[in-house]
A = this chain, B = another copy of it.
Amino acid sequence: MKALEQAILAKGKVLSEDVLKVDSFLNHQIDPALMQAMGQEFADLYKDAGITRILTLEASGIAPAVMAGLVLGVPVVFGRKRKSVTLQDNLYTADVYSFTKKVTNTISVSKDFLDKEDTLLIIDDFLANGEAAKGLLDVANQAGAKVAGIGIVIEKGFQPGGKALREQGYRVDSLAIVSSLENGTVTFA
């Protein structure tokens, strides 16, 4: 997606050969117009897939997921990384290891908002090793829901997550695929 690639080139910061910081428009400050364009793109890709619900993960998945949900006319559920007082039981849970943060989070989704009648579009901000996507798929499988596909904002194509998910037969649509961050430069696939 051209507008996203342009934003990455103009505003992304390459912190190492593994880490691309996009805090100025996606992960901390959010560009609403770009989110809307991304949501439209996800919705166009999945408009005939019979999506009933979008599943994402707090916090950075929420903006693109809600924009996609608005166009598709479906609700969005976000997996929580911590339990709240009002969300204690009746949960699907899965462990997600974050290579960036070096911690394992237990993500949780209420059983009230996912079930076997659902056809899901999973949306997340980054796909690198695929840990977050695996956790969300685990939750979807526990619910018995069908997964139509996985929509990713930025896939790091040089890390193994995307390849592994596609080999398992999942449809993965990434709006930008970064093939390398070598020499401080972003190269797209």
Contact = CB atoms under 8 A, between A and B. Distances in A.
A66 B25 CA distance: 12
A112 interface: yes
Give the number of times this chain occurs in the complex, counting copies: 2
A135 to B, nearest CB: 16
B29 A86 contact: no
B87 A33 contact: no
- Name the residue among A32, A65, A67 with the largest chain B CB count within 10 angstroms: A32
Chain A at the B interface: SS class: mixed
Contacts of A69: 30, 32
A101 B112 CA distance: 21
Contacts of A36: 70
A78 B100 contact: no
Given A36-B70, A63-B66, A101-B84, A78 B30 contact: yes
A31 B75 contact: yes
Contacts of A70: 32-33, 35-36
9 contacts: A19-B85, A30-B65, A30-B76, A32-B74, A35-B66, A58-B58, A62-B62, A85-B100, A85-B101
